[in-house]
Amino acid sequence: MIVDYQNDFNPGGALAVPEGDRIAAHINSLAADPRFDVVVATRDWHPPGHGSFTEQGGVWPVHCLQDSDGAELAPGLDRAGIDVVVDKGQDPGTDGYSGFDGTNLAELLRERGIDSLTVVGLATDYCVKHTAIEAAGEGFGVRVERAGVRGVDVEAGDSERAIEEMRAAGVEIS
């Protein structure tokens, strides 16, 4: 599962994750690995006026607006390895951090016989964390590859705290 590897979260984007572009090669190698039956990519896909935006009282600048270039998967990502794209964060009243929040992701995975996930993407301390923890709560085996994630680290240590939260929720960290 590739979480939110989008233009707005890469250098030059509205909410760039430091060194977010440095994980593309690792993500692409995993997506091409025959061990994985299905490769899912999630996208933040916010409507105008989303509640997470500072102009609406949220904490983030406007980012990943539906149908904008910023919301598209980043060009460093090899789309040939992606089987399904799941849009999330469409409800203006929720943060929409998790790929499972308000989507059919759990059903999609179960229909395809998937029982365990390897999670990579952006950002460790927000959408990766929430997606991994919710996946574990849904009964999936979950592993997060540190080489394939980067965090925002609004406050120093946020990503490391997120790693510990995921570990405490039963997520394997490798």
pLDDT tens by residue, 122-165: 999 999 999 999 999 999 999 999 999 999 999 999 999 999 99
Catalytic (active site) residue 125: no
What percent of the chain clears pLDDT 70, i.e. is strictly above it?
A: 100
Catalytic (active site) residue 78: no
Catalytic (active site) residue 64: no
Would the pTM of this model clear 0.95, i.e. be above it? yes
How many angstroms from the chain centroid is the CA of residue 79? 15
108 burial type by CB count under 10 A (0-12 exposed, 13-18 middle, 19+ buried): middle
Q: Please tell me the total count of domains within the chain.
A: 1
Cα angle, residue 91 at apex, residues 166 and 107 outer, rounded to 5°: 60
Q: What is the pLDDT of residue 87?
A: 98
d(Cα 102, Cα 99) in Å, to the nearest integer?
8
Averaged pLDDT for residues 54-73: 97
CATH classification at residue 30: 3.40.50.850
The domain of 132 spans 2-173
Check 8, 44, 87, 88 and give the catalytic one: 88
